[in-house]
Amino acid sequence: MPDTKFNTAITVILKNEGSEYTDIPEDKGGPTHWGIISTDLEDAINKKIVPRYTTIKGLTVDQAKAIYKELYYDNCPNLAKIDSQDVITKILDLRVNIGCHGAIKMVQKAINSLGSYCIKEDGIFGPRTLEAINSTKPMFLLTEIRKFQKKYYNDIVIHNHKQSVFLKGWISRCSSC
């Protein structure tokens, strides 16, 4: 059975990541294709998501989708339990861009900032975090997440000016989902 929630979200993520192979010296992730970096590819090869001979440069869109599904979506079962597709897309995009743990921690911080819930900001996507997400109006939660996301990207550039080459794209990503 196709996973509609994932399929809807991955369309946005792939657009954000771009389809071109890149190898930008300032990119700490190294060479990238469809947003997949070498550590993701190694993990995907070890888990037999893609064949052993797969390279970053030769990665297909279907292989990238399979990697994102298993490494960023399926390994976070509560993600599919979120009621709002927009929130699912935003969280998956954050998991891909800033890391799984950091993304959930940012969402927890956004929830706490809204004041309706007080949950531990530990980066663990447990039942309390899921309850808080589903009990918060998506529009308010997304606005708050975007605020923290912009601050996160600006802080990166403040601490490492070489990363400013990515800031415009990162800020654009904040409002893309």
pLDDT of res. 176: 87
The correct answer on CATH 1.20.141.10 for the domain covering 86-177 is yes
Q: Where do we find the tokens 């800031």? A: 167
pLDDT in tens, the chain (177 residues): 568 999 999 999 999 999 999 988 888 888 999 999 999 999 999 999 999 999 999 999 999 999 999 999 999 989 999 999 999 999 999 999 999 999 999 999 999 999 989 999 999 999 999 999 999 999 999 999 999 999 999 999 999 999 998 899 899 999 988
pLDDT of res. 113: 97
Instruction: Report the C-alpha gap between 138 and 35 in whole angstroms.
Output: 26
Closest among 57, 55, 51 to 20, alpha carbons compared: 57
Instruction: Report the C-alpha gap between 85 and 3 in whole angstroms.
Output: 12
pLDDT of res. 122: 97
DSSP letter assigned to residue 52:
T
pLDDT of res. 39: 94
pLDDT of res. 1: 57
- Write down the domain spans for the chain: 1-75, 86-177
pTM for this one?
0.94
CA dihedral 170, 139, 65, 155 (to 10 degrees): 20
Using CB atoms within 10 Å of the CB of residue 2, give its burial: 0 to 12 exposed, 13 to 18 middle, 19+ buried: exposed
